[in-house]
């Protein structure tokens, strides 16, 4: 990364930190639950695909 890219990234990180500090406790909890839900969906999809692969291998 060159200096310009690093400076842009630094500015974006600072903006994100400021936005995060302004959010209420409720908004933070809501976001955390949404992230957790997305992760669970990904795991379910992963296990479903893995099961399908094993079924194909058995046949």
Residue 14: count other Cβ atoms within 10 Å of its Cβ. 10
Residue 36 within a domain:
yes
Q: Give the pLDDT band (50/70/90) at residue 1.
A: low
Residue-wise pLDDT for 36-51, tens only, equals: 898 899 988 998 888 8
Give a yes or no: residue 33 inside a domain.
Answer: yes
Provide the domain count of the chain: 1
Q: Give a yes or no: residue 1 inside a domain.
A: no
22 has a pLDDT exceeding 70: yes
The whole-number average pLDDT for the span 3-30 is 87
Tell me, yes or no, whether 19 lies in a domain. Answer: no
The answer as to whether 18 is a domain residue is no
d(CA 12, CA 16): 6
In terms of phi and psi (left: phi > 0; alpha: psi -120 to 50; beta: otherwise), the region of 55 is alpha
Token output for 17:
């930190």
Q: Is residue 8 part of a domain?
A: no
Let me know if residue 28 belongs to a domain. Answer: yes
pLDDT at 21: 83
């Amino acid at each position: 990364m060159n200096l310009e890219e690093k400076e842009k990234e630094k500015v974006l990180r600072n903006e994100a930190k400021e936005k995060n500090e302004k959010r209420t406790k409720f908004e933070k909890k809501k976001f955390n639950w949404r992230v957790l839900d997305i992760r669970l969906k990904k795991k379910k999809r992963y296990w479903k695909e893995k099961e399908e692969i094993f079924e194909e291998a058995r046949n």
